[in-house]
Structure 1
């Protein structure tokens, strides 16, 4: 459709009631939303300030975005980008290392996987917080929401680091039990997974530095239930993983220290949407001969908005409907950023 059904826009303090509802729907383990009301308000205020910032380099900005259903105004989902991670708070993970064990005496050789605590991703940019309400998970909506984060990067690359990471939610049951946490974290932190998850979202994570394992952990010593989920994502995150892989992210044997979920990484300029997005000039159009699925976005972080819509892109001109211009709060003849789906 040439008329947009959704727009992705900056989230701010005015959205707090909608995000409280989203928090209840997302459930245990979705750290980005597992905040009390005060922490949620602070998160939204920081997002508003980040979008208004005139920063020329990546700093402490936290860009949190809302997926809004245009017709109803309902907040249907969210996503986010952290300009810099690893400084405050620290960004801890387990790296899975494979060691060879051998003995000529007994003619045995085998490999052993071990978990080592690391803080290797200081000074990277992180994308995450991807969530869509179940009733809005129509074809292409989650993908467009995920891509909006890379359109934000493409708008002003200098405000993001060269390396981008994404943590995927690990395997957690409906009642909030993580097999990996029960086998590893609980023994060191002496608390439930939900409490640790909440602390990681609302504190400076000093408790992780204080209590995390200081020595390698042999994976073979863990129960099968824990071994089976190392590097695996929650069933609701399988689509997000496929989207990351489509963009060029890969899994490098680094996992979350709480739930064992995978950490995906990619060089910023190798991310497909960042690489393929281009500057265009908008032209209001009512009739389309052969429109293609596209993402059209404002060309800067301040005032950023992005919408999935069908458009005609010819050279440096993007023909879009007046409704698309309205959703973007842009006018005929203004510059924008466009990504075109050449696969369909």
Structure 2
């Protein structure tokens, strides 16, 4: 039985193993004991804090096999990007020039360093074991965060974003980084991303050029990386795209990966989730998989369960499932179909 729950300090050793296995570019999951320990402590404090509006909180979740107590994945919500440190992106928009005398009006795409996405809620830290990729458990790991937002909207912004890891080859070479960032840091892409995970990311961003970078002046290989997704990041992108997230004019300033954006009312797991009453009993199993969660804070739990359920009816769950979801007979439960 696999359950998503908030991280605990006792998870630190396993979480560090997940960090070692995670994709280069997932800088919010550093392979560093002290950084991870502080992240866990910050998450634990966030879940118990009294919050009336979004602030610096981070909510970190892990996917656990209850039988083996093994962690198989993790994901995170940062309530407010840019709250404690500036959140930098590259804005990809045309720079327009014109000459009335020559009757020329021309737009050239340009990348500009910006902090436009400060104050948005940020989804980050998605990682799942390879054997569970492209299964309903990947959906659980990503979308249960959105059900948590649905349960506690006051804790989050009215706009949600996520950065998808951009393209790099099997040797860890990023054509976008090599054409741009490397000139300012003289560091390999993998080392720059490692430093971002270990230190304040803004100190690197602030050394990036503060003037527009005209896209046609980049190498063709670098231009092809703008908005391109790393193959191992495709699933994270696909799940959120199905949720209603869309690409916008912002990209990651290190690897050129796309940024996804959505308003909570348009996010499927928020807009389509329904409340019901959980009842102890023999479940009426069906062929429709549902994401099922409680609306708690430190006791938040979510699972994938195949049910035969209709709106307005109670959700029949056996004792083991009720316990795994931290529910009692008669407790409210949130559901959304996969």
TM superposition score normalised by structure 1:
0.91
One of 318, 321, 325 as aligned partner of 1:321: 318
Deviations 1:237-284 (A, max 9, x none): 111111111111111121000110001100122111011112221012
Root-mean-square deviation (Å): 2.0
Are the structure 2 counterparts of residues 217 and 51 from structure 1 closer, same or farther at C-alpha, using a change threshold of 3 Å? Answer: same
One of 148, 155, 162 as aligned partner of 2:158: 162
Aligned pairs for 1:1-344 (under 5 A) are 5-100=1-96, 111-137=107-133, 139-288=135-284, 290=286, 292-314=288-310, 315-341=312-338
Are the structure 2 counterparts of residues 27 and 299 from structure 1 closer, same or farther at C-alpha, using a change threshold of 3 Å? Answer: closer
* Rounded Cα–Cα distance in structure 2 between residues aligned with 1:312 and 1:283: 14
Deviations 1:169-190 (A, max 9, x none): 1112233221111110111233
* Rounded Cα–Cα distance in structure 1 between residues aligned with 2:335 and 2:285: 19
Query: SS at the partner of 2:150?
Result: helix
* Rounded Cα–Cα distance in structure 1 between residues aligned with 2:279 and 2:5: 21
What 5-or-longer segments of structure 2 have no aligned partner?
Answer: none
Q: CA deviation at 1:106?
A: 7.7
* Rounded Cα–Cα distance in structure 2 between residues aligned with 1:153 and 1:274: 7
* Rounded Cα–Cα distance in structure 1 between residues aligned with 2:105 and 2:118: 36
* Rounded Cα–Cα distance in structure 2 between residues aligned with 1:54 and 1:105: 62
TM superposition score normalised by structure 2:
0.93
For the 8 Å contact 1:88–1:204, the answer to whether it is kept is no
* Rounded Cα–Cα distance in structure 1 between residues aligned with 2:96 and 2:117: 26
For the 8 Å contact 2:56–2:83, the answer to whether it is kept is no
For the 8 Å contact 2:92–2:110, the answer to whether it is kept is yes
Task: Give runs of ≥4 in structure 1 deviating > 3 Å.
Answer: 99-111
Deviations 1:11-70 (A, max 9, x none): 121111111211221142221222411111111111111112222221111111101123
Query: SS at the partner of 2:309?
Result: strand
Of 205-214 and 248-257, more deviation after overlay is shown by 205-214
